[in-house]
Amino acid sequence: MAKRKSHKPKEDTKTSFMFPSLHQRVLDAISDQAVSARFDEKTTNQSNNKYSTNITGKFKCSNKDCSKGGWSSKKVSILIRGYPGNGYNALVFNQRCQSCNKLGILTLDENSYVERVAYRLKKWAGVRTEEQPYEQNAGPPHKSELCEGCKQGYCQKRNYWED
């Protein structure tokens, strides 16, 4: 198989993903504020800062026999963590298919990722930033039972949307 440059994860059965390849774009987005950061792939809980929010993405069902095909979400759960010495990472959580309950194959909306992460890093660095206007974006209700972020207890909308 040819090695393709892609932000899609290699496995389709992961419950969460990291995108170190987008680090440079995050850096570009915060450089105007003289904020520095380095991507830290440690997944320990030794973070000094933690923030969960949502980004936008598309999913394809990993089950090729499934008739649903795919779906898009404005509430892809993301957990941003800060570490000592300007370290950070961001964990993006997978979702399950509504019709067959298999995990999705994520295609990230890279702009929404970069904006959210950059915004949070600036905030943690103490830079005054404008509130993002789409912070409370509308969209279909978040389905906790299909969200791996909810399952692992990180998703912001967990209690909000539950019946």
Contact positions toward Zn ion, by CB under 5 A? 61, 63, 66, 68, 77, 97, 99-100, 147, 149-150, 155
Contact yes or no for 17/9 (Cβ under 8 A): yes
| CB of residue 61 to Zn ion, shortest distance in Å | 3
**Strand, helix or coil at 78?**
strand
The tokens describing 51, both together, are 């923030």
Handedness of CA 123, 35, 110, 44 (dihedral sign): negative
The tokens describing 30, both together, are 């915060």
Nearest to Zn ion of 47, 52 (CB atom): 52
Nearest to Zn ion of 66, 125 (CB atom): 66
Nearest to Zn ion of 66, 127 (CB atom): 66
| CB of residue 150 to Zn ion, shortest distance in Å | 3
**Strand, helix or coil at 160?**
coil
Nearest to Zn ion of 47, 94 (CB atom): 94
Contact yes or no for 78/55 (Cβ under 8 A): yes
| CB of residue 9 to Zn ion, shortest distance in Å | 17
